[in-house]
A and B are shown apart, each in its own frame.
Chain A
Amino acid sequence: MIKVNTEDYPWHAGMTVRALLDEKLFTFRHIIVRVNGEFVPEEDYVSTMIQDGDDVMVLHLMAGG
């Protein structure tokens, strides 16, 4: 199990940041990803592995409308 934006989410082996964003349907482009507090740049989404127990923040940056 991992945390995604403070809520439990099931973890599976081989889960990358990219895969998590796709699973969660986080399609908004304007986001900031942090894994255990560490910023992950967009170019590293595919190569960054998420481990069981990680705390992932996906901040959507729209405060607009």
Chain B
Amino acid sequence: MGTIIKDYSYTPAKIKHGYSGKSLYINLSDLRIEQKEITEFMKEKFTGGKGFDLWYLWHAVTPETRWDSPENEIVMSVGPLGGITQYAGTGKTLLCSISPLTDIPIDSNVGGYFGPLLKFSGWDAFELQGKSDREILIFIDGNNGRIQIEEAGEYPEDSHLLAEALTKKFAEDEDDMVNVSVVCSGSGAKHSYMGMLNFSFYDPRRKVCRFKQAARGGLGTIMHDKKVKALVVKYRGVKPNLNDPADIATINKVGVKYHKEMHDLDQKQNKMRQIGTANTVMIMSQYDLLPTRNFQTGGDPETVKISPQVFINEWLTQGLHDGCWYGCTMACAKCADHFLITTGPYAGQRVTVDGPEYECAAGLGANLGVFDPQAILEENFYCDTYGIDLISFATCTAFIMECHQRGQITKEQMGGLDLRFGNSHAVLELLHQMSRGEGFGRIAGLGVRNLKRVFVEKFGADPKLLQDIGMEVKGLEYAEYAHKESLAQQGGFAMATKGPQHDEAWLIFMDMVNKQIPTFEDKANALYYFPMFRTWFGLVGLCKLPWNDIVPTDNHKTDSPAKVPEHVQNYVDLFNAVTGKNIDKEELIVQSERVYQFQRVFSVRMGKGERKDDYAPYRSMGPVTREEYLSRQELYDKQLREFQKLDPETMDLDEKIAATRRYREDQYEQLLDAVYRRRGWTENGIPTPERLKAIGMDLPELLEVIEPKL
């Protein structure tokens, strides 16, 4: 038991129509704890979740603030629908902070119980500012209205041990453990810029703490820097009406309809309940979209070794509790039980590994050339317990491996680590070094953008090649989809506000396979609608997967099946039923756009968020190397003939690569123009005052930022 250094009592606010109306502020520098009002203005303009986070963060920081400045905050909020138990995917928390990788606001969404329990404890949002002078943990007792800050130096560092220790410590007995949720990181977050946060939920059947991750952008790194080892919330008494919905009958009705769909259709559609998001690994490979060996190609014959069937048959336990919040019948949070660890500090121990999710199998598998399910699971375990974002880690390691493959960096310069594609032993050792803050692991943890600089300055690497093959935009590493042949997705990644994560837009099938959005205008419309729509999940506390990972049987009869109109209507109905408001599907988009445009202006304020920041590395857009061109020669030659009226027979390979590049880079410029117009931005990517006014966001503080840029 660490010494309690602050004890604070409060009266938990009663939730009214989805909002408690209060937010919690803790300053770690002087241990100040305050309550703030959630105003009608905030609800109107920002809705909740990411909207509240960004609004608080805006007021906490200045353009000079960096990730490790004391004034930087970690802000989290679950949104007004967060915590209802009658529909699938209703427990997502959104977090924002100034990222160590990008220097602009990052947002990251996460399941697990913490966010809903925090709201039921009386807090719509939680701001953590300042820096502690010693390692601490913060405990929120939602039933008794108490917050304690306690010294935490004695607790283990890595997540699977820390969450278990704290769950036991704060639960009264075994039955009480489901009422405790822990947010923590791990030793790797301390020594890298890609630290993430684990959000726990206790699994009473397996008797272990399970995790979901707020993975992107270094949130774990920031929490370590603030010397916060863990946040713990405890709330007993979750039930369906805790959000005080305005119309619980509608919520029940919409929920029952959805659960029936899930029951009847999941097995025929995506099998989310059997394998989770990793169901798509083989599909991605078959459609040439699985990033392989640093996004050089879109698949590999060896992918069959890491197919969903292999994980289902040999590794994943079926039929247990796999929802990351109550009521999620999609239940995609799969895991491998009793998994034997073979390397590192936990060698010889049997553990539960949460995953692998798609990003894990694709990133730690194919993108590193590792087609070995056991190695992928061990990498997955260590990324999680060390608190490392496996997407950034995978994309960064793939980049290092290609630099090594192309003679840009030697084994000796990597401290003897033989980081070549397929060498899972070296990958695991890199993770262990990152955890210990030693050797090349410490350098690798800086992320792709910093590594490009280090490799050029220290090792004399070729800056142009590194720029072309280093898969980052704005400083954030790409998520795991190969997308060279989809212009719309090139934009979907590179124009994404926080950096190249696919939670804004995933347009590859619509664009590349279905050919539904052939013109720049079509693509721009998709790059308007989908990012706006998908932003909404993060405002209200919902998981995106139940939206379109299953669809009603008559979805094909609708005029826009990709939008899954019936599910969009479910969301409108749920929002109205909880809050008592009366929005429609158009107003839903406006709610999102207010926050979307706000975040773009926020990036502008922090020195990014302009056209120059929306460019992709050429690996994202086309073939950088001869091997890449040759791997799709038929397609590229055809495109030279059809699009540029060139005769590939008269050109040598380098000429063909150069002509393809010129064409594709020009296409991308035209896409930027079209999307900026559609989003109401200037040619330089700045939201215009007219656009902000049209959506009611012409706030003086925003106009002050954009006016000098117009």
Which A residues contact B (CB, under 8 angstroms)? Answer: 5-7, 25, 27-30, 32, 39, 57-65
Shortest Cβ gap from A60 to chain B (Å): 4
Q: Is B557 an interface residue (CB 8 A)?
A: yes
Contact digits for B534-571, partner A, Cβ 8 Å, 1 yes 0 no:
00000000001101110100011100011100000000
The verdict on A63 contacting B287 (CB below 8 Å), with A29-B270, A39-B557, A58-B514 known, is no
Stretch from B200-208, B462-470, B502-510 that touches the partner: B502-510
- Chain B CB within 10 Å — which of A5, A30, A57, A62 has the most? A62
One of B268, B280, B515, B544 near A5 (C-beta < 8 A): B515
Q: How far is the CA of A3 from the CA of B415 in the complex (A)?
A: 55
Q: Write out the residue numbers on chain A whose beta carbons fall within 8 Å of the beta carbon of B545.
A: 64
Are B555 and A63 in contact, with the CB atoms below 8 A? no
Q: Quick check: A64 and B544 within 8 Å, CB to CB?
A: yes
- When the two chains form the complex, which single residue of B270, B516, B544, B563 contacts A30, counting CB atoms closer than 8 Å? B270
**A63 in contact with B562 (CB, 8 Å):** yes
Partner of B516, one of A28, A39, A59, A62: A59
- The answer to whether B557 and A5 have CB atoms under 8 Å apart is no
**How far does the Cβ of A33 sit from chain B's closest Cβ, in whole Å?**
9
Across-interface contacts of B509 in A (CB, < 8 A): 28, 60-63
Roughly how many angstroms separate A17 CA and B516 CA in the complex, as a whole number? Answer: 20
A34 and chain B: residue at smallest CB distance: B556
Chain A nearest CB, measured from B362 CB (Å): 10
Residue of A nearest to B282 (CB): A27
- Which partner residue on chain B sits nearest A28 by CB separation? B283
| B561 x A32 contact (CB < 8 A) | yes
Closest partner residue, chain A, to B526 (CB atom): A63
B349 contacts the other chain (Cβ, under 8 Å)? no
> When chains A and B are docked, how far (Å) is the Cα of A60 from the Cα of B506?
12
B520 within 8 A of A: no
Pairwise interchain contact A27-B283, C-beta atoms closer than 8 A:
yes
Q: Which of A5, A28, A65 has the most CB of B within 10 A?
A: A65
Given contacts A6-B515, A39-B556, A65-B481, whether A29 and B510 have CB atoms under 8 Å apart is: no
Give the distance in Å from the alpha carbon of A64 to the alpha carbon of B509 in the complex: 10
By a CB distance below 8 angstroms, the chain B residues around A62 are: 280, 506, 509, 548
Partner of A60, one of B502, B514, B555, B563: B514
Q: Judge if B342 is at the interface, Cβ distance under 8 Å.
A: no
A-B contact pairs, 29 of them (CB 8 A): A5-B515, A6-B518, A25-B286, A25-B287, A27-B282, A29-B268, A29-B269, A29-B270, A30-B551, A32-B561, A39-B556, A39-B557, A58-B514, A59-B556, A60-B509, A60-B513, A60-B514, A61-B509, A61-B551, A61-B562, A62-B548, A63-B507, A63-B510, A63-B563, A64-B549, A65-B358, A65-B481, A65-B502, A65-B508
Question: A30-B270, A32-B556, A39-B556 are contacts. A63–B530 as well, Cβ < 8 Å?
Answer: yes
Q: Which of A5, A25, A30, A64 contacts B514 (CB 8 A)?
A: A5
Enumerate chain B residues within 8 angstroms of A65, measured Cβ to Cβ: 358, 479, 481, 502-503, 506, 508
Chain B, interface size category, equals 35 or more
The docked-state distance in angstroms from the alpha carbon of A43 to that of B58 is 55
In the complex, what distance in Å separates the CA atom of A6 from the CA atom of B509? 14
Give the residues in chain A near B548, CB-CB below 8 Å: 61-64
Which residues on A sit within 8 Å (CB–CB) of B516?
A: 59
Task: Identify which of A28, A29, A39, A64 gathers the most chain B CB atoms within 10 Å of its CB.
Answer: A64
**Besides the known contacts A57-B514, A61-B509, A62-B506, 14 further A-B residue pairs in the complex with CB atoms under 8 A apart:** A28-B286, A30-B269, A32-B555, A58-B514, A59-B556, A60-B509, A60-B513, A61-B562, A62-B548, A63-B563, A64-B545, A65-B358, A65-B481, A65-B508
- Residues in B with CB closer than 8 Å to A57 are 514
Residues of A within 8 A of B506 (CB): 62-65
Give the distance to chain A from B283, nearest Cβ to Cβ, in Å. Answer: 5
In whole angstroms, what is the CA distance A13 to B287 when docked?
26
| Chain A-chain B contacts (Cβ-Cβ < 8 Å), number | 69
Complex: how many Å from CA A30 to CA B280?
A: 11
Give CA–CA (A60, B510) in the complex, Å: 7
B282, B506, B556 interface centre (most CB from chain A within 10 Å): B556
A64 to chain B, nearest CB (A): 5
- Residues from chain A with a CB closer than 8 A to the CB of B481 are 65
How many angstroms from the CA of A60 to the CA of B280 in the assembled complex?
A: 13
Bound-state Cα–Cα, A7 to B639, Å: 13
Q: A25 CA to B515 CA in the complex, in Å? A: 16
| CA–CA, A62 and B544, complex, Å | 13
- Known A-B contacts A30-B269, A65-B506; the reply to A5 vs B561 at CB < 8 A is no
B residues near A25, Cβ cutoff 8 Å: 286-287
The closest CB in chain B to the CB of A39 belongs to B556
| Chain A contacts for B280, CB-based, 8 A | 62
- Segment 3-41 of B: residues with Cβ below 8 Å from A: none
Contacts of A39 in B (CB 8 A): 556-557
Which of A29, A57, A58: most chain B Cβ within 10 A? A29
How far does the alpha carbon of A5 sit from the alpha carbon of B516 in the complex, in Å? 8
**CA A27 – CA B513 in complex, angstroms?**
12
Shortest B513–chain A CB gap in Å is 5
- Please measure, in the bound complex, the distance between the C-alpha atom of A35 and the C-alpha atom of B506, giving whole angstroms: 26
Q: Is the CB of B515 within 8 A of A61?
A: no
Residues on B with C-beta less than 8 A from A5 are 513-515
Give the docked Cα–Cα distance between A32 and B549 (Å).
15
Q: Name the residue among B502, B509, B530, B555 with the largest chain A CB count within 10 angstroms.
A: B509
Q: Across the interface, do A61 and B555 meet the contact criterion of CB distance under 8 Å?
A: yes
Contacts of A27 in B (CB 8 A): 282-283, 286
Interface residues of B in 471-523 (CB under 8 A from A): 479, 481, 502-503, 506-510, 513-516, 518
Nearest neighbor of B287 in chain A, beta-carbon distance: A28
Chain B: minimal CB distance from A39 (Å)? 6
Complex contacts, B549 vs chain A, CB 8 Å = 64
CA distance A27 to B279 in the complex (A): 13
> Nearest Cβ in chain B — how far from A61, in angstroms?
6
Q: How far is the CA of A7 from the CA of B563 in the complex (A)?
A: 24
Minimum C-beta distance from A53 to chain B (A): 18
Provide the residues of chain B in CB contact with A7, threshold 8 Å: 515
Closest 4 CB pairs of A and B: A65-B506, A60-B509, A32-B556, A65-B502
CA distance in complex: A57, B506 (Å): 20
What is the bound-complex CA distance between A58 and B547, given in angstroms?
21
Cα A30 to Cα B556 in complex, Å, equals 11
Closest to B553 in A: A41
Smallest beta-carbon distance A22→chain B, Å: 12
CB distance from A24 to the nearest CB of B (A): 9
User: Residues of A contacting B515 with CB < 8 Å?
Assistant: 5-7
Given contacts A30-B551, A32-B556, A39-B556, is CB(A61)–CB(B268) below 8 Å? no
Q: Do the beta carbons of B561 and A61 come within 8 Å of each other?
A: yes
Task: Give chain A nearest CB distance to B195 CB in angstroms.
Answer: 24
Residues of A contacting B518 in the complex (Cβ-Cβ under 8 angstroms): 6
A59 to chain B, nearest CB (A): 5
Contacts of B286 in A (CB 8 A): 25, 27-28
Whether A59 and B514, one on each chain, are in contact in the complex, defined by CB atoms closer than 8 angstroms, is: yes
Given the complex, which residues of B lie within 8 Å of A63, measured CB to CB?
506-507, 509-510, 530, 548, 562-563
